[in-house]
Amino acid sequence: MEFYFLGTGAGIPATKRNVSGLALRFLKRNGPQWLFDCGEATQHQILQTPISLTKIEKIFISHLHGDHIFGLPGLIGSRSFQGATTELIVYGPKGIEEFVTQSLKISQTYLKYPINFIEVTEEKTLFHENGIKVEAFPLDHVMPSFAYKLTEDDKQGELLVNKLQEFDIQPGPIYQKIKNQEAITLADGTNLDVRQFVGPSKKGRTVIVAGDTRPKTELIDFSKHADLLIHEATFRSELEEQANKFGHSTIKNAASIADRANVKQLILTHISSRYVDEDEALLQEAKQFFKETLIAHDQMYFKLK
């Protein structure tokens, strides 16, 4: 999984941070690309990345504040202008379909591809396909806001080729049958215990992308042992009262969630424009509460191994 942070600021665009946008590219799944939130000028930010509008298959909107959706109609239109004909699915809270369809209607923007809207209203599994499950989880903001969890299926263990060769089992279709755990009978009548020739399965990775929220205790269990948690941290820790008033989290709030959930990596985003050129100070503050933390910046690239 490759993550491209297109916009990492809060509320309004700033000189160093655009508003919210995050792209995900799956390198080993025939190249599909997903988008999380789409603030103003997200498509401009994409121009500086390997992300292609025509390959974006799904868009996940956390909530309907303008800094998370005002770039969506333009991006959807440009996807059509660039020749896309494949379906686009947009997931988001109630109202996202009306916002997009009315914007396209009033601007007389006609799409060459079908677009489907899936309303998100509660905690639920949105889909489980092509080896990955996506779940939605309600957060605590001033309007309905959601986190999305991506969980990969466990990966099949590797074929132990050296051990097969020890038994004089030569390469061929039989290797795939053994990996698929099919019953195998050798030419001499021996029933092969295929389990001894396949290594242990590898646990699939888990990623949570959380939208705007006050700290929510229930998010700890939802994020338990995740490989990556992407969480907003609009304010520094001393402004907890202000953060709570506007439905946001502080650095300490987000880092404490990550620590209690025992995630492997935390990336903080949605940073207030008041903190210009303070990334290093923000990082040192976060590391007091959770060491495996990064502060996102526009055009930051992160590869989850």
Residues noted as catalytic: 67
Beta-bridge partner residues of 268: 231, 295
Q: How far apart, in whole angstroms, are the C-alpha atoms of residue 66 and residue 68?
A: 5
Max intra-chain CA distance, the chain? 76
What type of residue is 13?
P
Q: Which residue's structure tokens are 């299926």?
A: 153
**272 and 263 Cβ atoms separated by less than 8 Å:** no
- Cβ–Cβ under 8 Å, residues 60 and 34: yes
| Tokens 């990556």 belong to residue | 228
